Amino acid sequence: MNTVIGFDIGGTKIGIGVGDESGKILGMVSIPNVDTDPNDILPLMVSEAKRLCKEAHVEIADCPAFGISAPFPADALKGIMTEPPNNPKWRNVPVLDYLRSNLGIPGCFENDANCGALAEWFFGAGRNCRDFIYLTMSTGIGGGLICAGKLVRGGRALSAGELGHVCIQLDGRLCGCGQRGCYEAYCGGRALALRMREELKDKPESMIMQLAGNDPEKIDMIVLEKAVRAGDPYALALWDEMSLRNAQAFGIFINAFNPEKLVLGTMAWAIGDLYPAPILKQLPRFCWKEPREACQIVPSELKRQIGAYAGIAAAVNYLKEH
Ligand SMILES: [Zn+2]
C-alpha cells in the first residue's frame, strides 16, 4: 500500500501528516502559522515531513506523492499561494514547486474545500459514492463536488464547487465576496454573526445580547444556538430563515447534481439534529422528489479530524488521477 505525505495549510496552523491509502495515519504534527514568514516555514515543512517519514520507517523516495490543502485565493494550477487573508507575509509563494524540489517527489495543490470533499470521499461519509457533495458549513460555506467518481475542478478559473456563492436572492444581502444574495451571506457563520451584531447592537435586553455578556463582538453561532434552544423569538425566526435558505441551496445542488449524499461539515455535526431537521422539512419546496429521495443528507464523519486527512486525501486523489 502506498504511503503519502499531506500538508494542510491553515491560517493559524499547518498540519503535516504521513499516512497510507487506507487512511491510516502513521505520523502527524502541527506547526503554528500565525504571522509567519514563508522563508522560515517552508524549510520547516520539509524537515518535519522528513522526520515523520523517518519515524514511520518510510523512505521519502518511496512515497509516490504528497498533497497540499491550501486556503484560497491561490493559483491552484501553479500551486502558488497568492494572498491568503490570514497570512500577510505569504504573497505569491510557490509552495508546490518548493515542496516538489525539496522532497524530490511529485505532488499536488488543491483548495481546502476540495480536500475536505476528497477526505470524506476516501476516508469518511462519502466512501463508495460516485456522486457526492461536501459542504464545509463553517464561518464561510465552501463546497467540493465529486461527480461520476471524479473531483470536479472546473475550467480556467478552477472555481467549480464554490457553492457558497450561488446567488439565491436577487439584490440580496451583501456577501464577503462582493456579490449580493450569495447563499453564504444567509447561512455562513461569519455572515450570521455580523447580521446579529448589526441588528442587536442597540438591544441590550435581547436574549442573544445577554448570552453574549452585552458584547456584540461575542455574538456567534454558539450564542445563536443557545438562544434557539431557549426559545427566544428573534433567534427562532433567524433560525427558520437560515433553514429555509439552506433548503433553497440544497435543493439547487440536489437538482443540479443528483448526489447520493450531501455531507455537511462543521456546523451540522457540532449542532446536531437541530441543524438539519428544519432544513429537511423545507426541502420539498426546492427540488424534485426523485433526486431528493435518492440523496442522503448526513454530517461529516471525519468532523474535527478532517484537516488531518485533507492533504493526504489530495495525494491519494493525485495517484488516482495519474
Ligand atoms: Zn459570495
Condensed to tens digits (0 to 9), the pLDDT of residues 139-154 reads: 999 999 999 999 999 9
Please report which confidence band the pLDDT of residue 72 belongs to, taking 50, 70 and 90 as the band edges.
confident
Q: pLDDT tens-digit profile of 262-277?
A: 999 999 999 999 999 9
pLDDT (tens digit, 9 = 90+) per residue, 34-55? 999 999 999 999 999 999 999 9
Write down the mean pLDDT value for the chain: 96
> Do 179 and 45 belong together in one domain?
no
CATH number at residue 84: 3.30.420.40
Cα(99) to ligand 1 centroid in Å equals 32
Q: What is the pTM for the complete model shown?
A: 0.96
Is there a single domain that holds both residue 143 and residue 208?
yes
Helix (H, G, I), strand (E, B) or coil at 293: helix
Instruction: Give the Å distance between the CA of 247 and the centre of ligand 1.
Output: 17
What is the per-residue pLDDT for 157? Answer: 86
Asked whether the CA dihedral 118, 121, 123, 124 is positive or negative, the reply is: positive
Whether residue 104 is found in the same domain as residue 9 = yes
Mean pLDDT of 293-308: 96
Residue 113 lies in domain: 3-120+305-321
Is there a single domain that holds both residue 14 and residue 148? no
Confidence of residue 156 (pLDDT cuts 50, 70, 90): confident
Q: How much distance in Å is there from the Cα of 12 to the middle of ligand 1?
A: 23
Single-letter amino acid, residue 78: K
Residue bearing the bigger pLDDT, 72 or 163 = 163
pLDDT of residue 190: 96
- Residues 177 and 55 placed together within one structural domain of the fold: no
Task: Report the number of distinct structural domains present in the chain.
Answer: 2
175 in the same domain as 43: no
Ligand 1 centre from 52 Cα, in Å? 39
Which grid cell sits at 89? 507575509
Residues 69-95 have a mean pLDDT of: 93
Res 170: pLDDT: 98
Residue 73 has pLDDT above 90, yes or no: no
Average pLDDT over residues 161-178: 97
Alpha carbon distance 67, 29 (integer Å): 15
Q: At what angle do helices 233-257 and 189-200 cross, to 10 degrees?
A: 150
CB atoms within 10 A of CB 283: 20
The C-alpha cell that represents 292 in the structure block: 431528493
Question: pLDDT at residue 99 above 90?
Answer: yes
Rounded to the nearest angstrom, the distance between the alpha carbon of 32 and the centre of ligand 1 is 29
42 to each of 24, 90, 145, 152, 232, how far by Cα in Å? 25, 11, 30, 29, 49
Peptide bond connecting 64 to the previous residue in cis, omega within 30 degrees of 0: no
**Are residues 251 and 315 both part of a single domain?**
no
Cα 185 to ligand 1 centre (Å): 7
CA of 176 relative to ligand 1 center, distance in Å: 6
Q: Could you report the per-residue pLDDT of 171-213, keeping only the tens digit for each?
A: 999 999 999 999 999 999 999 999 999 999 999 999 999 999 9
Q: How far is the CA of 16 from the centre of ligand 1 (A)?
A: 30
Q: Are residues 114 and 73 in the same domain?
A: yes
Same domain, 242 and 170: yes
How many Cα atoms sit within 13 Å of 57 on the Cβ side? 0
Is the confidence at residue 85, as pLDDT, over 90?
no
Percentage of the chain lying above the pLDDT 70 cut: 100
pLDDT of residue 235 exceeding 90? yes
